[in-house]
Amino acid sequence: MVNQKVKVKDKHKNIKKFSKALVIIIIITAILTAAFFSGFLSKPRKEVILENPLKDIVFTNTNQAGQVNQQAVIDQGILNFNQDYINYLLVALGVGKLHKSYVGYGNPTIELNIGREIWSAEIDNGNLLTKKGPNENKDLIISLSKQEAVKALLSSNIEEFIKNSASSGNTQIQMMANMVELGSKGYLAMYKDLTGEEVEE
């Protein structure tokens, strides 16, 4: 009897288990919340203000009565097409709302097929890094002719023009990355604004 082992129940065993589980849940919730909002709570995004690259061409092709020779502007715009045109177009389409992925996918990258030219742009900390040539890690491809791009720049609302152009088949917008990556960089709202449609899974 004296040597017999007796199990003594710890009155606080259930409380200790519950406390450990609660602490773990709080830590996990805090980490996930921080990861989710890191893209939104980082430095305020820079507001990018650019001058329309067609401004001088429009001025040159405007007569004394204030009438613009639109076809001459389009023709000259196509000849002069460069990086400034791409940047202005992208800013007008809302790339300023895109941000680095808060779950590790990196910076947003867009490829533009303009006629026979391929351009790519990366949004890095609010800066728009544009270069001629493709990008293997593109999230989205926008394809349209140079003439359509110049017409977009001449329109009073570029976003609305591209939306109408996409619905008429003159502009194609194609998502390349998966839904999680697109959502983590802010593309889903931008895609809906430009096409009027949700991104298909």
DSSP bridge partners of 172: 143
Q: Is the pLDDT of residue 39 over 60?
A: no
85: tokens are 């045109």
Whether 36 has a pLDDT exceeding 90, the answer reads no
Q: Give the residue carrying structure tokens 């709202």.
A: 189
Two structure tokens written together for 69? 């020779």
pLDDT digits (tens, 9 = 90+) for 104-138: 899 999 999 999 899 999 999 888 999 999 999 99
Query: What is the pLDDT confidence band of residue 96, given thresholds at 50, 70 and 90?
Result: confident
